[in-house]
Each structure stands twice: as structure tokens, then as C-alpha cells.
Amino acid sequence: MRDYKVYVCEKCGEEFPDDREKCAEHEKYHVRPEPYGIHDKGSYQSGDKYPVFIIIPMADGANVRYRVEGVLTPPEEPETKESPLATANSTED
């Protein structure tokens, strides 16, 4: 039996058989967004709840524009609670 090791890029999933260094170099190629970089950058169209695109500053100084395809997860509905006064004022027979 032969032992076979594959290194996988954590960002894109590309595989590097038996080459840890090449995988590590590849992972450095991916540029990360700057933390807290999205401020008031984007464009809304009339009637839209969410921006059509956003611009994200990246760690290497580039500004990258991402276009929105759609809402993947709808926002949670706010929980409505019944007023305690409503039950106290109700009359029971």
C-alpha cells in the first residue's frame, strides 16, 4: 500500500498532491478583504432594500466591486410579543 498525501487550499479547494510548500504559496495568492473595510460603499436603486453592488477594499490596496445576485437568506422576522395589558384587560366569562 502507498501512502498518498494531498494538501488542499482552504480558500478555493485546489489540491496539491505531496507539495505542502506549493499549497502554502498558492494560499498567499488569495487576497483577503480588509476587516471593517465596507463603509458606505455601494449603489442602491429606487425601491431596493439592498445595494446592487458593493465595493470592498482589499489587503493589497485594490478596491473590488461585487455585484449582488440575490438574497440567499431572508432576514429574520421580528418576534412580536403580545402586550401584557391585552391579556389583563380581556374579560372572561
CA-closest candidate to residue 70, choices 43, 45, 42, 50: 50
Read off the pLDDT of residues 11-63 as tens digits, 9 standing for 90 and up.
889 999 989 999 999 988 888 877 777 766 677 777 778 888 888 889 999 99
Give the pLDDT score at 86: 65
CA atoms within 13 A on the CB side of 2: 4
The pTM score is: 0.54
